């Protein structure tokens, strides 16, 4: 690889990372406000508490109902702390499971919006089973009979993000990122230097274009010129159109076939060699 070229690419990738984390980027509640005529938020996991890092509820959508669940970051210091920077605790994931169950019971399609640096790392989160909470959210999503659409709207940080993204269709906004680990942590572990985060970001291939190429996501949604933070309403319109499109597609198939296709899709994830041949 030619070095100059690599450096430029490096810069372009890092700009994407910064856009995905832009403090003025629209968050879940912004999209909900722009996309739906009405929204009733439902709170609590019925076990321990309500986690403000994940919001969810019933949205009025073209004369019918949609269950919307998403990570929620705060805009200023107070709300950022309250929302824990969008890092859910087990309660958040258990609330998500509860709302998914509710949607399934009444045949309501589920839209999830993904935007988190990752699940909260902490002692109390571990005590209450962070790993199991994420795993069971994945299982709940796998099991749903209703159509599911997930959109990565900002940061798709590791397992904490994936928990809400085991969906029939997974879309990504153009300037969002989706990765197994943050570029900073990856650089600290593999390069032994968190200063190499730019290089890690490029090597991990975390932009929407990379993920489309790797066939991990179904579609990249274009953002308004300069990024979604420039025009929340326009970004929400793009998302709404895509949602309409995907739901129409998914609702022509029966629940059994839809589930089978969902399983087939995730079964294909990964690249390996078998008997010397590389299989995708």
The site for another protein (CB under 8 A) is made up of 119-123, 125-132, 134-136, 138-139, 142-143, 158-159, 162-163, 165-166, 178-181, 185-186, 189-192, 200, 203-206, 210-211, 214, 216, 262-263, 266-267, 269-275, 278
State the minimum distance, in angstroms, from the CB of residue 123 to another protein.
Answer: 6
Distance CA 1, CA 156 (A): 28
* Secondary structure of residue 12 in the 3-state scheme: helix
Residue 192, φ and ψ in degrees, nearest 5: 55, 30
Indicate the residue among 102 and 180 with the shorter CB distance to another protein: 180
Query: Nearest approach, Cβ of 88 to another protein (angstroms)?
Result: 12
Beta carbon nearer to another protein, 28 or 182: 182
What is the C-alpha to C-alpha distance for residues 139 and 72, in angstroms, rounded to an integer? 22
Q: What minimum distance in Å lies between the beta carbon of 213 and another protein?
A: 10
**Shortest separation between residue 164's beta carbon and another protein, angstroms:** 11
Which one, 43 or 191, has the nearer CB to another protein?
A: 191
Pick 20 or 236: Cβ nearer another protein:
20
In the complex with another protein, the residue whose CB is nearer, 129 or 224, is: 129
Q: How far is the CB of 30 from another protein (least distance, A)?
A: 26
Instruction: Report, in angstroms and rounded to the nearest whole number, the Rg of the chain calculated over CA atoms.
Output: 18
Q: At what angle do helices 3-20 and 197-204 cross, to 10 degrees?
A: 90
User: Whole-angstrom Cα distance, residue 31 to residue 276?
Assistant: 47
Which CB, 31 or 178, lies closer to another protein? 178
Would residue 73 be called left, alpha or beta, if left means φ above 0 and alpha means ψ between -120 and 50 degrees? beta
Give least dist CB 163 to another protein, A. Answer: 8
Cβ(228)–Cβ(220) under 8 Å? Answer: no
The residues near 127 (Cβ < 8 Å, ≥ 6 apart) are none
DSSP secondary structure letter of residue 222: P
Q: How far is the CB of 196 from another protein (least distance, A)?
A: 8
Cα 14 to the chain's mean position, in Å? Answer: 19
Helix, strand and coil in the chain, % to nearest 5: 50, 20, 30
Closer of 59 and 171 to another protein (Cβ): 171
Angle at 97 between CA 176 and CA 89, to 5 degrees: 65
3-class DSSP assignment, residue 190: helix
């Amino acid at each position: 690889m030619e070095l100059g070229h690599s450096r430029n690419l490096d810069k372009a990738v890092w700009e994407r990372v910064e856009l995905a984390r832009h403090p003025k980027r629209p968050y879940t509640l912004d999209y909900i406000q722009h996309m739906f005529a009405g929204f009733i938020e439902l709170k609590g996991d019925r076990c321990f508490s309500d986690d403000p890092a994940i919001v969810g509820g019933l949205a009025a959508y073209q004369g019918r109902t949609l269950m919307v669940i998403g990570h929620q970051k705060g805009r200023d210091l107070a709300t950022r702390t309250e929302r824990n920077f969008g890092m859910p605790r087990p309660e958040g994931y258990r609330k998500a499971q509860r709302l998914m169950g509710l949607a399934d019971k009444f045949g309501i399609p589920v839209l999830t919006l993904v935007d988190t640096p990752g699940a909260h790392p902490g002692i109390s989160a571990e005590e209450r089973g962070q790993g199991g909470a994420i795993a069971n959210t994945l299982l709940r999503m796998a099991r749903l009979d209703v159509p599911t659409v997930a959109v990565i709207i900002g940061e798709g940080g590791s397992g904490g993000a994936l928990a809400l993204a085991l969906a029939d269709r997974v879309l990504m906004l153009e300037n969002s990122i989706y990765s197994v680990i943050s570029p900073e942590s990856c650089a600290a572990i593999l390069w032994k230097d968190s200063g190499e985060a730019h290089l890690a970001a490029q090597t991990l291939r975390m932009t929407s274009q990379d993920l489309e190429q790797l066939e991990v996501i179904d579609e990249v949604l274009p953002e308004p010129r300069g990024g979604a933070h420039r025009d929340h309403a326009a970004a929400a319109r793009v998302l709404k159109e895509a949602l309409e499109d995907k739901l129409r597609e998914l609702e022509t198939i029966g629940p059994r076939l839809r589930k089978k296709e969902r399983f087939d899709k995730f079964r294909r994830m990964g690249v390996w060699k078998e008997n010397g041949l590389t299989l995708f």
